[in-house]
Amino acid sequence: MKSDEDIGPALATALAPILFSLIGFAAGALMLAAAMTPAMASHLQVLEHLFPLLVIEVSHFLASIIGALLLILSAGLARRLNGAWLLAVLLLLVGVVLTLLKGDGFGEAALLALAALALWFSRRAFYRKSSFLDMRPTPGWVLAIAVTLLAVLWLGFFSFRHVEYRDDLWWSFSLNGDAPRFLRASAGVAALLVLYFSSLLLRPHYKPHSIQTDPETMARVKTILSQAKNAHAQACMALLGDKQFLFSKSGQSFVMYSIWRRTWIALGGPVGRPDEWRELVWAFREQADLYGAGAVFYSVHEDFLPLAAEIGLTVRKIGETALIRLADFSLEGPKRARLRQARRRMQREGYTFDVLSHEALEPIIPALQTISDDWLAHHQGAEKSFSLGRFTAEYIRHFPVAVMRKGNDILAFSNVLTTADKQEMAIDLMRHGSDAPPQVMTSLFTELALWGQAQGYGVLDLAMAPLAGLEKRALAPWAARLGAFIYAHGDRFYGFAGLRRFKNKFDPDWLPVYIAASPRVRLPLALGEVALMTSGGVRGLLHRERPKA
């Protein structure tokens, strides 16, 4: 438990971003209001004897610009951005000088100086490395700036309501020319805000570093995969070549992830040593937070849930995965009659099954490429990424590949993801030629289950059925009820029910799959981001895909 001495600084650090966001916004509004109203005549008379008129005019204009910048920076202060903190301190200090030079007296300058001093001593609360220019405006923030700007403009026009406005006022410079200074300040502030918000709309989203596919990194990943304990087969997706990695301090564990807009999305949980998982999950969440992003763990299993609860992640079910328990798998009995009949039919017609790897795989890669291209063209689809494999020769070489042949011709294949301890194997790519018989994939998976059983593997994962098993009860979360509705009525866009029916032929156990995220992340939006990232955009997302029975 923290001592009383620790509670004070911790509370100050927690409240500083919100407090100084409000102070920064108020300081900006104060400077804008002062720029839109007449200056103190007595102060102007003193300044007239100390500085040229040009200094007073420039100070007034720049003070209004700084006021507008402080309004913008207030949102960066709320998000703990260190760039916004540093710039806010500098602008407040410059604002003190400009306030004195334009004739607004010592009261306003003292308030700005106090704000700068307090902000300086709270610098530890502003640790995120994002630039405030990388920040996307929220509707509430934009509305607050718009209301403030309209209010100070009204104040200005009210203060100078007796002035007859003429074109030459814009170019009138005199010691008592408060109205012309108001017009120039208003135009400058409006131009600044238009330029700033335009730059945000045109600015690409920020990524702190690039995808890691260099030989040294991939060698580390392979080493960890070969030694990982309690890993799931989807950990092999680290070899897809489209991810970034966060390694543990020992270098014996990693989290693989990709970045979509302001969200860092990890595929599965940590991979490697179980005793390092907790620190690695914390490190991933803290690293995302350092860049002002949300952290998401997509497609995690029940073994991740205690850790997710411990570190404060929000968890939702997103579907179910089909697991065949290989120790108990058999083709006997009425439940497996269709599998048994399909296998016998394929054997009678001269089809054979094999699992190839290493040297035996290399000569058939061109044939596999041809089948993959045919499959993509026939389905009018495109290669996926992130949570689904895509065909490249480099990627396929990492795994054993199950194939169905007739004679020397390969008709269908699937690469097989495996764990080092043989607890799990999983199908990845499922490709067949357009001339393959309808039952080819059913037969391939049946043979693969028997092969895995003979090799001593624990389970065969037939992959996830998205949105399956979600509750549609009245008291269930609205996102779950929406997912259940899409699952029930969305076959037009994606074969939800058909996919589950196909996998049910194998009488699998259906186990839940989850998404876990930091509380600031909206899980439905995160799921949409995963879908877009995996499918390569809206067109790929809406592509309808059904397996051959």
Contact at 8 Å (CB) between 531 and 258?
no
Q: Quick one: pLDDT band at residue 173, thresholds 50, 70, 90?
A: low
pLDDT at residue 166, rounded to an integer? 61
**Model pTM above 0.75:** no
Q: Quick one: pLDDT band at residue 481, thresholds 50, 70, 90?
A: low
**Residue 197, CB-side half-sphere exposure with 13 Å CA sphere:** 16
Cα angle at 354 between 353 and 358, to 5 degrees?
Answer: 160
**Of 82, 79, 89, nearest in space to 129 by CA:** 82
Q: Quick one: pLDDT band at residue 257, thresholds 50, 70, 90?
A: very high
Scanning 320-460, the segments in alpha helix (DSSP H) are 337-348, 365-378, 393-396, 440-455
pLDDT at residue 11 above 80?
Answer: no
pLDDT in tens, 38-88: 766 555 556 655 667 677 777 778 888 888 888 888 887 877 777 788 888
The whole-angstrom separation of Cα 239 and Cα 258 is 13
pLDDT at residue 345 above 50?
Answer: yes
**Of 466, 449, 446, 479, nearest in space to 545 by CA:** 466
Scanning 294-419, the segments in alpha helix (DSSP H) are 305-310, 337-348, 365-378, 393-396
Q: Quick one: pLDDT band at residue 7, thresholds 50, 70, 90?
A: very low
**Of 407, 408, 454, 403, nearest in space to 427 by CA:** 403
In terms of DSSP bridges, do strands 459-466 and 263-267 run parallel, antiparallel, or are they unpaired? unpaired
pLDDT at residue 356, rounded to an integer? 93
The DSSP letter of residue 167 is G
pLDDT at residue 95 above 50?
Answer: yes
pLDDT at residue 318, rounded to an integer? 85
Contact at 8 Å (CB) between 243 and 256?
yes
More confident residue, 545 or 506: 506
pLDDT at residue 487 above 60?
Answer: no
Torsion of CA 62, 97, 77, 142, to 10 degrees: -30
**Of 437, 410, 431, 432, nearest in space to 349 by CA:** 437
Highest mean pLDDT among 8-22, 511-525, 530-544: 511-525
Q: Which 3 state secondary structure label does DSSP give 460?
A: strand
Q: Quick one: pLDDT band at residue 307, thresholds 50, 70, 90?
A: very high
pLDDT at residue 19 above 90?
Answer: no
Q: What is the mean pLDDT of residues 315-336?
A: 88
pLDDT at residue 404, rounded to an integer? 94
Q: Which of 148-152, 268-272, 335-339, 470-474 has the lowest mean pLDDT?
A: 470-474
List, in order, residues 6 or more apart from 394 with CB less than 8 Å away.
241
pLDDT at residue 270 above 70?
Answer: yes
**Of 41, 210, 45, 23, nearest in space to 120 by CA:** 23
Q: Helices then strands (H, E): number in the chain?
A: 18, 12
The whole-angstrom separation of Cα 188 and Cα 193 is 9
In terms of DSSP bridges, do strands 314-325 and 459-466 run parallel, antiparallel, or are they unpaired? antiparallel
Q: Quick one: pLDDT band at residue 148, thresholds 50, 70, 90?
A: confident
**Average pLDDT of the residues of the chain:** 79
pLDDT at residue 10 above 60?
Answer: no
pLDDT at residue 140, rounded to an integer? 78
